[in-house]
């Protein structure tokens, strides 16, 4: 795992480019965007990974892309067109 770039430890927590970042959550495990810093894991794309998972999966998660692609195989627009044509 590569390390978090531009990260510094401050009294408030870990900062990256002036943003306070929160560690990743268990759902992030396996994602390519996870970076390490001072023994903790952080997301290279989001300062607050937990929030990315509220109400569904993180849309930038690299480890569950395959599942998402499979779910999108059925195109709702095409399906409704087919239904309208009557076959």
Assign 63 to helix, strand or coil.
coil
**Beta carbon of residue 68, minimum distance to ligand SF4 (angstroms, whole number):** 12
Does the footprint of ligand SF4 cover residue 43 (CB under 6 A)? yes
Does the footprint of ligand SF4 cover residue 46 (CB under 6 A)? yes
Distance CA 15, CA 38 (A): 12
Site string for ligand SF4, 19-38 (x = CB under 6 A): -----x---x--x-xx----
Q: Is the dihedral of CA 3, 69, 77, 57 positive or negative?
A: negative
Does the footprint of ligand SF4 cover residue 14 (CB under 6 A)? no
Distance CA 35, CA 56 (A): 22
Does the footprint of ligand SF4 cover residue 4 (CB under 6 A)? no
- Does residue 35 contact residue 42 with C-beta atoms inside 8 Å? yes
Does the footprint of ligand SF4 cover residue 16 (CB under 6 A)? no
């Amino acid at each position: 795992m590569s390390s978090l770039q531009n990260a510094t430890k401050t009294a408030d927590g870990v900062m990256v480019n002036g943003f306070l970042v929160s560690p990743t959550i268990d759902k992030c495990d396996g994602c390519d965007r996870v970076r390490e810093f001072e023994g903790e894991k952080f997301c290279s794309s989001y300062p607050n990974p937990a929030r990315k998972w509220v109400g569904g999966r993180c849309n930038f998660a690299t480890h569950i892309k395959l599942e998402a692609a499979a779910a999108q195989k059925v195109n709702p627009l095409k399906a409704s067109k087919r239904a309208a044509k009557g076959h």
